[in-house]
Amino acid sequence: MKTVRLSNGVEMPQIGYGVYQVEPSECERCVSDALSVGYRMIDTAQAYHNEEGVGAAIAKSGIPRDELFVVSKVWISNYGYEKAKASISESLRKLGTDYIDLMLLHQPFCDRYGAYRALEEAYREGKLRAIGVSNFYPDNFIDLASNVEIPPMVNQVETHVFNQQIKAQKYMEEYGCRIMSWAPLAEGRNNFFTNPVLEAIGERYGKSVAQVALRWLTQRGVIIIPKSVRIERMEQNINILDFTLSDEDMAEIAKLDTGKSLFFDHHDGEVTKMFMGWR
């Protein structure tokens, strides 16, 4: 599996499997399927309520722990130093592991500085191998990265062909941080799977729209975690390293960028109010 090196030297698989919107009752089966077709990085979160399913699949897989890379995220209801610290212990328990490979703050709201201190402490204690953030767009990202002792090593943000995060990626790289994409397939929005540009490129290589879009992200150095509950799609989504998009293909796909979210704008007051309801 191709890896990327984080700022602390930890090697992280560039392709992983995400379990957002995977029902807790289905999660163990899905993660077992994902492991069976070759995934070694799993992305979950406290807010997905399926960390136990991830842990159960890992335990049953028989794969040595050091060959796996587990990512989770602290939810905003657990922000502030004390609550975040307790929630990290709870995630470790649910995942059935002594350490989490990468722990992120899920959202840039509430007492994120207190929560981040808990991440730094757990990192120093060896409970977390790497730490970072998610949904921290340049303003919040630069603010946090400039005011903590251990700058975020990864920032997981909405990144796909329609919202490419070119400028945000440059800021992250300036601070030694890796970009990780959520919704690499845009969750199928905006007629993603029948996009004519992606279809035409796919036909030239004998690849699906999903494979073209995922390959484009990895060629930009982006870490990806496509989600599917179907094993044949899991397999399709991981098998993307046997072809290379040309500079012309990359330039064609670059034109699809709208620079806007297909989900929600973290700078919109109504969105902030929505998150305050989920504390």
Would you say 42 and 68 are in contact if contact means Cβ atoms under 8 Å apart? yes
| Interaction of residue 14 with ligand NAP, rule CB under 6 A | no
Residue appearing with tokens 């730490």:
131
Residues in the chain: 279
Using CB under 6 A, pick the residue from 13, 14, 15, 18 that binds ligand NAP. Answer: 18
Point out the catalytic residue in the list 17, 39, 48, 137. Answer: 48
How many CA atoms lie less than 13 Å away from 107 in the CB half-sphere? 21
φ and ψ of 19, to 5 deg = -120, 25
Would you count residue 218 as binding ligand NAP (CB under 6 A)?
no
CB of 220 to ligand NAP, least distance (A): 16
Shortest Cβ distance from residue 260 to ligand NAP (Å)? Answer: 16
Among 161, 236, 238, 256, binds ligand NAP (CB under 6 A): 236
Is 48 known to be catalytic?
yes
Would you count residue 108 as binding ligand NAP (CB under 6 A)? no
Q: Is 39 in the site for ligand NAP (CB under 6 A)?
A: no
Residue span 156-195 as binding mask against ligand NAP, x where in contact by CB under 6 A, dash where not: x-------------------------xxxxxxx----x--
Give the CB-side neighbour count of residue 173, counting CA atoms within 13 A: 10
Backbone angles phi, psi at 73, to 5 degrees: -140, 140
CB of 235 to ligand NAP, least distance (A): 9
Instruction: Candidates 62-70, 137-145, 194-202, 233-241: pick the segment binding ligand NAP (CB under 6 A).
Output: 233-241
User: Would you count residue 43 as binding ligand NAP (CB under 6 A)?
Assistant: yes
Task: Answer yes or no whether residue 155 interacts with ligand NAP by CB under 6 A.
Answer: no
User: What residues are labeled active site?
Assistant: 48
Q: What is the binding site for ligand NAP (CB under 6 A)?
A: 18-21, 43, 106, 134-135, 156, 182-188, 193, 208, 210, 225-230, 233, 236-237
